[in-house]
């Protein structure tokens, strides 16, 4: 082997080894643009080429399978299917007719669940008739609050109505026990 050939081998081999190690190092940056390898010929300024040209490669050329890319941030977990919802208990804290406002008002909360992504729906039923009102739930220190859910008295007839509050969120679902409300 002549001296020039040995010198070229001493320069190219370490570059190839380092390049191979860099490709196998976890967390190494990946690029979507190919970088020229040591064996890629570059024409000099003003030179023209004819025939096939060399294309830079980004993977191993020794027949080994390409390295798998490192996993990136995990995708967000999919929303649970309806069968995966947690059954929760909704408690009505008060229910009644508010004379000054001319409406039925019901307060409720979901104990032990702290989330602000749900809704609370008050449903009043009487004689086969149903009236509903939905409000966003609010996360509290130790529960999820429905606050005061109200139905205007103009939508209701006089008599005893059954009030139920339903809670629904991406992870939880539940209903209160029915409570009677008298509309004058």
Fold held by 82-183: Immunoglobulin-like (2.60.40)
Q: For the chain, percent helix, then strand, then coil, each to nearest 5?
A: 15, 40, 45
pLDDT digits (tens, 9 = 90+) for 4-16: 444 444 544 444 4
Query: Percent of the chain beyond pLDDT 90?
Result: 54
Mean pLDDT, all residues of the chain: 75
Chain-centroid distance of CA 56 in Å reads 39
pLDDT digits (tens, 9 = 90+) for 15-71: 444 454 444 445 444 444 444 444 444 444 444 444 444 444 454 555 555 555 454
pLDDT digits (tens, 9 = 90+) for 134-151: 999 999 999 999 999 999
Do 56 and 35 form a contact (C-beta atoms < 8 A)?
Answer: yes
User: In terms of Cα–Cα distance, which of 170, 178, 177 is closest to 85?
Assistant: 170
Q: What is the pLDDT of residue 123?
A: 98
Structural domain spans, the chain: 1-28+53-72, 82-183
* Alpha helices, DSSP H, located in the chain: 3-24
pLDDT digits (tens, 9 = 90+) for 91-120: 999 999 999 999 999 999 999 899 999 999
User: Which 3 state secondary structure label does DSSP give 23?
Assistant: helix
């Amino acid at each position: 082997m002549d001296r020039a050939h040995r010198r070229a081998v001493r320069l190219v081999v370490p570059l190839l080894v380092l390049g191979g190690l860099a490709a196998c190092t976890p967390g190494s940056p990946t690029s979507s643009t190919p970088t020229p390898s040591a064996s890629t010929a570059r024409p000099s300024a003003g030179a023209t080429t004819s025939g096939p040209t060399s294309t830079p490669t980004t993977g191993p050329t020794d027949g080994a399978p390409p390295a798998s890319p490192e996993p990136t941030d995990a995708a967000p977990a999919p929303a649970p299917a309806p069968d995966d919802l947690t059954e929760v208990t909704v408690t009505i804290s008060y229910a009644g007719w508010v004379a000054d406002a001319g409406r039925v008002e019901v307060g409720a909360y979901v104990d032990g669940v702290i989330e602000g992504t749900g809704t609370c729906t008050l449903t009043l039923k009487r004689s086969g008739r149903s009236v509903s009102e939905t409000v966003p739930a609010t996360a509290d220190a130790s529960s999820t609050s429905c606050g005061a859910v109200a139905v205007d008295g103009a939508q209701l007839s006089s008599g005893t109505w059954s009030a139920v509050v339903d809670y629904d969120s991406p992870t939880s679902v539940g209903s209160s026990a029915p409570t009677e409300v008298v509309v004058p």
